[in-house]
Amino acid sequence: MAEGADIVQIYRMAQASDAQFAAARASWAASQERLPQGRAGLLPSVSVSAFTQSNDREIRFRDPTVPRNDNSFNTNSASVSLSQPLYRPENFQAFEQAKTQVAQADVVLAQSAQDLILRVAQAYFDVLLAQDTVAFAEDQLKAIGQQLEQAKRNFEVGTATIVDTKEAQSRYDLTRALEIQAKNDVELRKRQLELVIGQPAPGLSPLGKRFTPEPPNPNNLEKWVGLAAEGNLQVKVAERGFTFATQEIERTRAGHLPTVDAFASYTDSGAGAASQTSLGSDTTSTVVGLQLAIPLYQGGAVSSRVREAIANQEKARQDLENARRTGELTARQAFLSVTSGLAQIQALEAALVSSESSLASTQLGQEVGVRTQVDVLNATQQVSQTRRDLAQARYNYILALLRLKAAGGTLTEADVVAMNAWLDR
């Protein structure tokens, strides 16, 4: 029975701890604030102001017969002001741009979620492949060790030359070096997995007998290419970018248009007596009105910003076209990787059966004297290499299938769950 975490559990760890995904979520949360900020330009603004001041005044006359005038008084005022935009096309376009930015942020977060799935799968199967490589190296080392011991015994009794012993020893030492390298690679791959999940890498469930590779669905290259041209998340991000750039032209052009605001204010103020001959006063004031502003000339700044926005729109258009072409290319590459990977798995499964049969025949041939020690060593190495190639082909097939779905914009958590059924748990 296999032990260890499955890929769904690893994915959950990554969702909770991966720094890249956490940064993407924080960026998404920040982008959501664009909407209330954009809406604020269409809503009323209210402000309250108040002040109080103490006045000490001394008046001295140049005529010495006139006594000086000393007095102290307070001045107080409180006011409430309200302003409501009625016609501000620039603010309206800014609100529309905020909607576009929020929609784009949603797509970017979805793209980050797809990227997390791909990174988790890559790290997971990299660890499994490294562990498989160690296991295959250990099996090969054991088989070659047996051949080495037999060669030594045959040399001692005179039925084999020293060449067989040295050849077996050479293969043994080389395989030992490969085993050490494979073990180091396991540690490196585990550290890479830890980078994603944010904790020490647990044991992992291996790929099991329920793994059944199948052709892509739909098994049609052009359908996947068409899906990528429209549904690829990078394409959708670029589409929102183009929409935003188009809206920016309209927002900038609105700098030539008049604006109309409604305003109202209420002020309550009072002042003490400023002199012995004057009286204090209290004043209340209510103002309601409309304000029209017509921009006539701003030094050519608005026209310049319009030309800048048009150039940025063309850049966004080309970015969108590049995203579509890249998505189509990625879909083609992934589709061919899936189909060729499927054929490679089938070929390597057949090759493994042949290699194991060849090894058994070669060992039998060595016993009857028609095959040499070198032949057995070569056959043993071939079996080990074929096993590793088959394991790698299976992992590559799974990763290519995930990349194909990501290229089409259809990769979701459900694919992680489906992939989990292929594991021994």
pLDDT digits (tens, 9 = 90+) for 140-194: 888 777 777 776 776 677 656 677 778 778 877 888 888 899 999 999 999 999 9
Query: How many other C-beta atoms are found inside a 10 Å radius of the C-beta of residue 326?
Result: 16
Handedness of CA 335, 193, 381, 384 (dihedral sign): negative
**pLDDT per residue as tens digits for the range 288-320:** 999 999 999 889 999 999 999 999 999 999 999
> What is the domain-level CATH number for residue 337?
1.20.1600.10
* pLDDT at residue 185, as a whole number: 93
pLDDT-derived band at 199 (thresholds 50, 70, 90) equals very high
**pLDDT per residue as tens digits for the range 109-151:** 999 999 999 999 999 999 999 999 999 888 888 877 777 777 6
CA angle 124/327/217 to nearest 5° reads: 65
**pLDDT per residue as tens digits for the range 326-347:** 999 999 999 999 999 999 999 9
Residue 317 or 72, more confident: 317
**Assigned domain for 386 exists:** yes
pTM equals 0.86
* pLDDT at residue 2, as a whole number: 46
**Assigned domain for 62 exists:** no
**At 370, is the secondary structure helix, strand, or coil?**
coil
CA angle 407/410/416 to nearest 5° reads: 105
Q: What share of the chain has pLDDT > 90, as a percent? A: 70
Phi, psi angles (nearest 5°) of residue 50: -155, 150
Q: What share of the chain has pLDDT > 70, as a percent? A: 95
* pLDDT at residue 278, as a whole number: 63
**Assigned domain for 220 exists:** yes
* pLDDT at residue 386, as a whole number: 92
Give the residue-averaged pLDDT of 244-256: 96
Q: How many angstroms separate the CA atoms of 297 and 303, rounded?
A: 10
* pLDDT at residue 277, as a whole number: 57
**Assigned domain for 299 exists:** no
**Assigned domain for 99 exists:** yes
Token pair belonging to 380 = 């043993």
Residue 363 or 277, more confident: 363
Contacts of 189 (CB under 8 A, 6+ apart): 123, 126, 127, 129, 130
Nearest CA to 272 among 17, 62, 56, 128?
Answer: 56
* pLDDT at residue 260, as a whole number: 97
Q: Is the pLDDT of residue 275 over 70?
A: no
Q: Is the pLDDT of residue 368 over 90?
A: no
**Averaged pLDDT score across all residues of the chain:** 90
pLDDT-derived band at 245 (thresholds 50, 70, 90) equals very high
Q: Is the pLDDT of residue 1 over 50?
A: no
* pLDDT at residue 274, as a whole number: 62
The single-letter DSSP state of residue 21 is H
**Assigned domain for 275 exists:** no
The single-letter DSSP state of residue 408 is T
Number of domains in the chain: 1
Q: Residue 138 is part of which domain span?
A: 8-42+80-269+284-293+315-420
**Assigned domain for 352 exists:** yes
**Assigned domain for 155 exists:** yes
Residue 325 or 59, more confident: 325
Q: Is the pLDDT of residue 99 over 50?
A: yes
* pLDDT at residue 404, as a whole number: 97
pLDDT-derived band at 230 (thresholds 50, 70, 90) equals very high
Report the b/e string of 189-207 with b at 16+ CB within 10 A: bbeebbbbbeeebbebbbb
